[in-house]
Each structure stands twice: as structure tokens, then as C-alpha cells.
Amino acid sequence: MQQVMIVTGGSRGIGAATARLGAAAGYRIGLTYRGNDAAAQAVVEEIERGGGVAIAVAADVGNEADIVRLFNTVDERLGPVTALVNNAGILERQMRVEGMDAERLSRILAVNVTGSILCAREAIRRMSTAHGGQGGAIVNLSSVAARLGAPNEYVDYAATKGAIDTFTVGLAKEVAAEGIRVNAVRPGIIYTDIHTSGGEPGRVDRLKETVPMKRGGQPEEVAQAILWLLSDTASYTTGTIIDVTGGR
Ligand code: NAP
């Protein structure tokens, strides 16, 4: 069966690394992005140069209509999705909870939580054997922040990742008998641009001495765990959350 992977937020960072590795493993890749057209196109071209198949779809996972259009586009151009990586995620400027307003909280919940759940809904409608599908696998991107809470930085972001952990456990049980496995990966501090959104581009280097392995992680090290969870070698693994944190 043709393997088709959707990676939300595949234009940069962990999502781009997952798209590249997925293509190398033989998946046809549908990657999404919000605004950075050039970055998304560069990942597609790199995959094509390596002999793979990839398309980039501009779709805001904070918008339900965009999500529905994304899955319909992938149906038409690549075939029905067999692997979903709920990777797109945002954080906002570091601050204490006492400074946060409802607009900030709505934005982060819409992208990190609602977006992941709605993408999973679209995937299940295509994958579930109860709907005539062939089964599939979903990996959600959580964060070590779900365990540590991110005090004084972004407790709101940490709370969205706690929600992702719970969603992973519940959904895994809900669809386990329908051929779908659902797992999550909790990265630690990884060298990507996400820390710039928090207002501290050098955050990984500031914190790396607090990591038992004394270094930040690379996006590819997270992508390897995602690829394993999606693969048939993880055939009896569902409802699991893997920490990729250098021991943090
Ligand atoms: P990143 O470098 O900031 O990349 C984010 C990606 O998501 C980009 O492709 C971006 O697209 C896309 N995106 C952002 N908002 C979107 C939206 N509303 N709709 C669709 N796409 C959107 O992030 P990253 O560090 O690779 O993080 C990936 C995942 O890992 C996130 O869920 C994050 O929470 C989690 N994580 C990261 C770390 C870390 O240290 N880096 C640690 C723990 C967990 P554009 O290029 O168009 O903006």
C-alpha cells in the first residue's frame, strides 16, 4: 500500500526534518505551513532532488476550513493519508501567567490543541477500518514542558502540551481496534526557530548545561523517534509518549 504522510508545520525545524526522513523512508509527503512559502518550497525541492514525492499546502491549523481543505488536497494529489504528524505548534513571548490575556490563550489553544484534534479527526475518517480505511498511525508533538510546566516562560504553552498528552492516551484507546495507532513524542530543548517566537533565540544554549547530556537536541534526533512510532516496527505500540530530551 502507498504510504502517505501529512506533516503539519513541515517547512522548518522538527517538521521539516520529519518530512525529509519520511520521504527517504518511502512516504509521499504532504507538508503544511502557515506563511513561509519559500521555506516550504525549499523542503519540497530537496525531497524531489532526492527522488521523493512531496507537496506543500498553505494551511493554518488554527482554522477548521483550512484543515479540511488540506486533507482533501492530499487525497487528490497523493492519495489518502496513512500517517499523520501533528507537529505544527506555537509558543508566544515568555511571560508569567499574571500578564497573559485571553487573545493569547485563544491563539495558542486553537493551534496547539484544537488544530491537532481536528487534524486527527480528518485522519481517522480516512484511516479507520470502521470507515472502510486501511488503518494508519498518528504521532502528536508534545513537549517536555508538559512535565516541567515552563514556569516564568510559558505555562500556557506547557498546558497545551499537557492536553496533547491526555489526547494521545484517550484517542489511542478510542481507535485501537480500528487499525490506528496514536502516540506522542516529547522533545526537550531542540535547536529550531521556535525559541525566537518566545523572544529568546539563544534559549537552547542558555539551558543546555541543565540537560543531563549537556547539549541541546537536533531536529533530526526528534524526527527519528517520530518515524519509528509511525513505522510497522512499532506495530504493538500505542498510547505511548516518548521523551527525546537528552535525559531532561
Ligand atoms: P518551528 O521551528 O517554530 O516550526 C514551526 C512550524 O509550524 C513551521 O513549519 C510553521 O510554518 C508551522 N506553523 C506554525 N503555526 C502554524 C499554523 N497555525 N498552521 C500551520 N503551520 C504552522 O517549531 P519546532 O521547534 O520545529 O516545533 C515543532 C513542534 O515540536 C511544535 O509542536 C513544538 O511545540 C514542539 N516542540 C519543540 C521543541 C523545541 O525545543 N524546538 C521542544 C518541545 C516541543 P511557517 O514556516 O509557515 O511559519
pLDDT digits (tens, 9 = 90+) for 144-177: 999 999 999 999 999 999 999 999 999 999 999 9
127, 136 contact by CB (below 8 A): yes
Indicate the number of domains in the chain. 1
How many Cβ atoms are within 10 Å of 37's Cβ, its own excluded? 12
pTM higher than 0.85 for the full model?
A: yes
Check residue 78 and give its pLDDT. Answer: 98
CB-based contacts of 103, cutoff 8 Å, min separation 6: none
Q: Catalytic residue numbers?
A: 157
Say yes or no to pLDDT of 1 above 90: no
CATH number at residue 127: 3.40.50.720
213, 196 contact by CB (below 8 A): no
Question: Which atom of ligand 1 is closest in space to residue 88's alpha carbon?
Answer: 7
**DSSP category for residue 218:** P
What phi and psi, each to the nearest 5 degrees, are found at residue 151? Answer: -60, 140
Q: Which of 33, 86, 220, 241 to mutate to test the pocket of ligand 1 (most atoms within 8 A of CB)?
A: 33
pLDDT single digits (tens) 168-227: 999 999 999 999 999 999 999 999 999 999 999 999 999 999 999 999 999 999 999 999
In terms of residue numbers, what domain contains 15?
Answer: 4-244
Cβ-in-10-Å burial (0-12, 13-18, 19+) of 224 comes to middle
168, 137 contact by CB (below 8 A): no
CA atoms within 13 A on the CB side of 25: 21
Question: Which atom of ligand 1 is closest in space to residue 10's alpha carbon?
Answer: 9
What phi and psi, each to the nearest 5 degrees, are found at residue 204? Answer: -60, -45
